[in-house]
Amino acid sequence: MTLSEFDSFRPSEPVRRRRREGKRGPGRRPANGDGSREMPMVPEQEFSSYYGRPVVKAAPWGNDVAAYLFLGGVAAGSALLGLGGQLSGRPTLRRNARLSALAAVSAGTVALVKDLGRPERFLHMLRTFKVTSPMSVGSWILSAFSAGAGVSAVAEIDRMSGSRLPLGPLRNVLRAVEGPAGFEAAVFAGPLAAYTAVLLGDTATPTWNAAHEELPFVFVSSAALASAGLAMVTTPVRETGPARKLAVLGVLGEVAAMKVMEQRMDPVAAEPLHQGKAGAMLKWSERLAVAGGLGTLLGGRHRGAAAVSGLALLTASALTRFGVFEAGLASARDPRYTIEPQKTRLAARRAAGITDDAITTGG
Amino acid sequence: MGQLSGPTDPTADAHWEHSHPRKGFFTDTSICIGCKACEVACKEWNHNPQDGNLELLGSSYDNTGALGASTWRHVAFIEQGQERIVEARESGRALVSLGMPRIGPPATASPAATDLAEAETTPPDTADFRWLMSSDVCKHCTHAGCLDVCPTGALFRTEFGTVVVQDDVCNGCGTCVAGCPFGVIERRADGSVKVATSRNDQHAKHPAVPNAGIAQKCTLCYDRLVADETPACAKACPTTSIKFGDHDDMVETARERVSSLHAQGLTEARLYGANENDGVGGTGSVFLLLDEPEVYGLPPDPRVPTADLPQMYRRAGMAVAGMAAAVAVAFLGGRA
């Protein structure tokens, strides 16, 4: 179409972007058309957008939040290991796990507060309890966990310093409550490890939202293997038998949950998990987790090998969290990941005869 | 806690005891001329600071870009050729033939459908190209993702059924930004923006940006509503493209408008947000669009994420149980 002679100076129209070929999950929607395979029932959705600008906004969260995802998991798993050490008579494991839990949860909380738009108002998180807000539920879980983790870790610090903390008569109280406090922290440990998955799932960010069914399993597994890895670094091998088992279970859980998650997600929404920085991080996360798990199984009784495996597991967990975090942000920045899965599911519902629940209506 | 999804009265859900009618916009994009008076009126009334450095985006006459923390009305501008007009007309016709639910007797629909065949289908100006202009705004959803996930209670449901941020409560956690399926709400930056009021003070001190670090979005001019005034954008709109009133009246007006456009053969017209069975329970701001929503930068099938929250909590509960079991196995399953 030409309206004037000056139209020849216009830049050519950009080519409409087609589905990227290449690394995707085992093709649930194979690009074919040569008749060699069955064609999908719902046709591929053409993709148009408003000048390629994002539809949803990415969460304004920096790496602080990704670091918190990791640290919260380490804290949660450490509190469980601490309780295990407490109940099974492993004093060094108990002490190290309790200290790890307090250190991780403190660093994580600082990271969270730092990421707020108004850090001085962080206590507003506790001005209400809202079950519809995973962030609110999580703030209460974090507070409850920190109370128990703090008390039990302070008790350890007091013992390590030869009762030199200026506690006065409170020392007896501390001795009396440290056991229950360790138990209380362990009660909130699981929720602390899992709520962050709900927090990410309960957003309009395409990749996080599409992963909401399996992300809790990925996150608790990641927390388990990270905290077990940390225990293997900090604690002599004679007391880390359970940590080694937990590490192996965590690796198995994470690799399996990640695979199931990628299978069950919308294939387009899953793409950011395989691309760019996020893809590289998740790939290395899996490699390091498997390597750390094997190292734990084969060399876990050697102090050095256990520590190296533990470090590999910690790195794997951090990479998992940063990878999932980055993938979500990338999916929000590209309108394709919002529009295509939505068009696909709308077309699928229409093909199934459900025509009354679209936001766009003819009248 | 009220319903998490499906049709409902949001004001009653929020436990307001006295009943105000729900207020809303109907933005009829078929008569929008893209003058951006709504953007200006909104900025002025709400004291919203400048965002960006007055850059030209280089894509169209729209240099605002998108809704954001300091832009609560955004006029989209799209130029389309003939091929796309035909496609839009077809996709709109397909929507009519889906038999969407409507209020009132269905008898009015069938004669209109037969009329379409003989109707004059030439657009009023030219068949070769068209300009689409649409003033976008917060949808004030029946089930608002931002409101659901706000941990501090800073976002609340007003007596008018709208969703408003209390800027003295919000701590800028940013959860709402990710929770909005329409990409409306945003955290305001700290105001590292250069505002010059005259040529001479280009480099003078810049006015302070209010509410930096806090999530901001359209309030449907809450301060004007309580004084029984029309929101600034609707008041400023010279073509009545932005209509304001009781939500039910707005939906009714929208339905009448779309059927009159269909009767003229303009089957590309369709409503956005008028269906209370959609993923957000219907929106408070209803739009009449002339093409697919994604062309305007709107999501084609938004769903409030919180609708799946009970399922997410169940899955998280299973994961927690699994983690506890793994630890139990690790400690009880014999010495390794």
CB interface of A with B, residues 143-182, below 8 Å: none
Q: Does B24 touch chain A (CB under 8 A)?
A: no
Contacts of B88 in chain A (CB under 8 A): none
Q: What does the pLDDT read at residue B112?
A: 44
Length of chain B: 336
Structure confidence by residue, pLDDT tens digits, B70-127: 999 999 999 998 888 889 988 888 888 775 555 544 444 444 445 555 555 555 556 7
Interface touch A55/B292, C-beta < 8 Å: no
E strand spans, chain A = 360-361
Residue A51: inside a domain: no
Q: To the nearest whole percent, how much of chain A has pLDDT over 70?
A: 88
Q: What angle do CA A219, A232, A217 make, to 5 degrees?
A: 15
**Chain B nearest C-alpha distance from A50 (Å):** 5
Q: Is residue A22 part of a domain?
A: no
Tens digits of residue pLDDT in B12-62: 888 888 778 999 999 999 999 999 999 999 999 999 988 777 778 888 899
Contacts of A82 in chain B (CB under 8 A): none
Residues of chain A by 3-state class (helix, strand, coil), percent to 5: 70, 0, 30
Residue A272: pLDDT above 90? Answer: yes
Could you tell me if residue A8 is inside a domain? no
Report the residue of chain A nearest B272, measured CA to CA.
A360
Q: Is pTM beyond 0.80 here?
A: yes
- If you compute the radius of gyration of chain B from its CA atoms, what whole number of angstroms results? 23
Nearest CA in chain B to A121: B171
**pLDDT tens profile A334-344:** 999 999 999 99
- B199: closest CA of chain A, how far (Å): 33
Specify the residue for token string 């929000």.
A332
Q: Is the pLDDT of residue B326 over 80?
A: yes
Average pLDDT over residues A217-230: 97
When mean pLDDT is compared across A210-214, B188-192, B197-201, B243-247, the lowest value belongs to B197-201
Q: Please give the average per-residue pLDDT across A90-96, as a whole number.
A: 95
Q: Side-chain half-sphere of B212: how many Cα atoms within 13 Å?
A: 11
> Looking at residue B119, what is its pLDDT?
57
Question: pLDDT of A154-203, one tens digit each?
Answer: 999 999 998 888 888 899 999 999 999 999 999 999 999 999 999 999 99
Which chain A residues in 174-233 lie under 8 Å from chain B, judged by CB atoms? Answer: 189-191, 193-195, 197-199, 201-205, 208-209, 212-214, 216-217, 219-221, 223-224, 228
Contact B188, B209 (CB under 8 A): yes
Which segment of A44-48, A228-232, B228-232, B268-272 scores lowest on mean pLDDT? A44-48
Which pLDDT score is estimated for B39?
Answer: 95
* A239 part of a folded domain: yes
Tell me what ipTM this predicted complex has: 0.87
Percent of chain B with pLDDT over 70: 85
Distance from CA of A312 to the nearest CA of B (A): 20
Using pLDDT thresholds of 50, 70 and 90, give the confidence band for residue B68: very high
**Closest-approach residue (CA) in chain B for A76:** B323
- Report the distance separating Cα A217 and Cα A143, nearest Å: 23
| Per-residue confidence (pLDDT) for residue B201, from 0 to 100 | 52
Which tens digit of pLDDT belongs to each residue from A133-154? 999 999 999 999 999 999 999 9
CATH of the domain at A294: 1.20.1630.10
Is residue A359 assigned to a domain?
A: no
Domain that holds residue A147: 63-344
Residues of A (35-64) whose Cβ lies below 8 Å from B? 47-51, 53-61
Q: How far apart are the first and last CA of chain A?
A: 33
Probe site for chain A from B301, B313, B314 (most A CB atoms < 10 A): B301
Domain boundaries defined on chain B: 10-303, 308-336
Q: Which residues of A touch B65 (CB under 8 A)?
A: 53
Q: What is the mean pLDDT of residues B251-265?
A: 93
Q: Is the pLDDT of residue B156 over 50?
A: yes
What's the CATH fold of domain B10-303?
Alpha-Beta Plaits (3.30.70)
- The answer for B 154-173 residues in CB contact with A (under 8 A) is 154, 169-173
Higher pLDDT, A7 or B317: B317
pLDDT digits (tens, 9 = 90+) for A284-300: 999 999 999 999 999 98
Query: How many domains are there within chain A?
Result: 1
